[in-house]
Chain A
Amino acid sequence: GAVVSQHPSRVICKSGTSVKIECRSLDFQATTMFWYRQFPKQSLMLMATSNEGSKATYEQGVEKDKFLINHASLTLSTLTVTSAHPEDSSFYICSARFRGQGIYEQYFGPGTRLTVT
């Protein structure tokens, strides 16, 4: 299957600072990238959907000014958590999608563990 990478895998930051997480599709061009958030022992919750060159579409309840998403190229999307607070501590997972043979194929990154102290 296709490979999606995330960087960093773990990050600890102080309250009030901003953190940027990168998501890259390594061997395919992703027309769409998704950002999910996952709390311990819970499911993945979609935060936003981004198409290359367009503004991201945020899910209801997700603050777009707090979670800045940039999808600058077909292989790179970034999520910036601005003015992070302890309640933003979570596991953030990106996913990249492309149109395969007649169907959309979506692959997930390994996730980034964010801890805000």
Chain B
Amino acid sequence: GENVGLHLPTLSVQEGDNSIINCAYSNSASDYFIWYKQESGKGPQFIIDIRSNMDKRQGQRVTVLLNKTVKHLSLQIAATQPGDSAVYFCAETYGILTGGGNKLTFGTGTQLKVEL
């Protein structure tokens, strides 16, 4: 379903701590998920993606976990740095495993604030 952002949840963490940002998606047919980082006044930047035939994927300092049973996605950032401060969006789409080409649906986003 569509997401209408009425407010932006905020997660505050201390520099050096790990951050966990959560996302609940709505379409049980979605088979491809992406996390984006958006800094103020800029466009979204790709962080990491995961297909539905996986439940975990690791990148550099980031890990994405997918729980299809409860339609939940999380982004873990290790050793959070001030430069990680931004809004993080999850996005979902479907049909990727059969050729893809469908539009992305974005979640409401989470503001991550890193405190020194």
Chain A contact residues, CB within 8 Å of chain B: 1, 4, 6, 32, 34, 39, 41-46, 49, 91, 93, 95, 103-104, 106-111, 113
Contacts and interface: CB of A to CB of B under 8 A. Distances in A.
A44 B89 CA distance: 9
Given A42-B8, A43-B89, A43-B109, A103 B43 contact: no
Contacts of B8: 41-42
Contacts of B108: 42-43
Given A103-B96, A104-B96, A93 B5 contact: no
A34 B46 CA distance: 16
Nearest to B91: A44
Contacts of B105: 46
14 contacts: A6-B43, A32-B101, A41-B7, A42-B4, A42-B8, A42-B108, A43-B3, A46-B103, A95-B43, A103-B100, A108-B44, A108-B45, A109-B43, A111-B41
B62 to A, nearest CB: 15
Contact of A110 (B3, B6, B7, B42): B42
B46 A1 contact: yes
